[in-house]
Amino acid sequence: MASPNRRFKDAIYEQFARIGKAIAAPKRLELLDLLCQGPRTVEALAEQASISVASASQHLQVLRAAHLVEAEKKGTYVECRLADREVCDFYVSLRRLSEARLAEVRQVTGAFLTERGAMEVVEADELVRRVRDGEVTLLDVRPSEEYRAGHIPGALSVPLGELEKRLAELPRGRELVAYCRGPYCVMSIEAVALLRKKGVAARRMGEGVVDWRARGLRVERGPAGGARKRGEPARPSR
């Protein structure tokens, strides 16, 4: 018969394993990544993860059972959000561990970026300096609701779907740097490709708001267009 000490240890590790079991599906990790950007309805999550609403609901139920995600009924929709900011920190730590330990992550990413001609990025440390010096204009090309949930101070909200028709609004005389959800989000890649096609100097930031916050840098919340006046340099701070 197992000793009390062994029963205690077995019980504790069984609880820890609940988290591992909950995230042991690629789509559930993608849902956590999306929820790091802000709350979403089940329908919106399903669309952005390219799965059915029924499948999204099932995955979210697993995440809720592990207390990683919470849900709230709002009218005819159910809105989901991360249970705590620590859940997003955990996801980022898992992502970074995978990047460091799994060569396949680098191979798949490198092949995709090379094919798209998108290997060149602005690193965060360089970006902080250049933004503070007024050398670049940041474009947040995520959907506006994600911008409102949290964005890099001074960034202009120009969702990817609106970028082409809003080119005339963009400040001139400084390089544009586009960012989206993070290193595996393709919206900033598409934004830079469009801007360069139109003759506008642009690069992309390899990280997103979640990574920015993880570096200890400030993230703002607020409506699109409320970050700063056009042409006024941003001042990111720690």
* Residue range 210-221, pLDDT digits in tens: 988 888 888 999
Per-residue pLDDT for 230 more than 70?
Answer: no
Per-residue pLDDT for 226 more than 60?
Answer: no
| Mean pLDDT to the nearest integer, 227-238 | 43
| pLDDT score for 51 | 98
What percent of the chain has pLDDT above 70?
A: 92
| pLDDT score for 131 | 74
Of 227 and 38, the structure prediction assigns the larger pLDDT to 38
| pLDDT score for 231 | 40
Neighbours of 95 (CB within 10 A): 19
* Helix 26-36 × helix 85-101 angle, to 10°: 130
| Mean pLDDT to the nearest integer, 90-95 | 96
What pLDDT digit, counting tens, does each position of 111-163 carry?
988 877 665 677 777 777 877 777 888 999 999 999 999 999 889 999 999 99
State the average pLDDT for the chain: 89
Domain with CATH 3.40.250.10 in the chain: 116-238
Q: How confident is the model at residue 86 (pLDDT cuts 50, 70, 90)?
A: very high
Per-residue pLDDT for 234 more than 60?
Answer: no
| Mean pLDDT to the nearest integer, 214-236 | 62
Active site residues: 180
Domain 116-238 annotated CATH 3.40.250.10: yes
**Record: fold of 4-88:** Arc Repressor Mutant, subunit A (1.10.10)
Of 123 and 200, the structure prediction assigns the larger pLDDT to 200
**Phi and psi at residue 72, in whole multiples of 5°?**
-140, 135
> 143-169 b/e with 16+ CB inside 10 Å = b?
beebbbbbbbbbbbbbbbeebeeeeee
Of 123 and 54, the structure prediction assigns the larger pLDDT to 54
| pLDDT score for 118 | 63
**In 3-state terms, what secondary structure has residue 144?**
helix
Please enumerate in sequence order all residues whose Cβ is within 8 A of that of 34, keeping only pairs 6 or more positions apart, or say none.
Answer: 40, 45, 48, 49, 181
pTM, entire model: 0.84
Of 233 and 159, the structure prediction assigns the larger pLDDT to 159
Q: Mean pLDDT check: name the lowest of 4-13, 131-140, 174-183, 196-205.
A: 131-140
For residue 188, the one-letter residue type is S
Domain with CATH 1.10.10.10 in the chain: 4-88
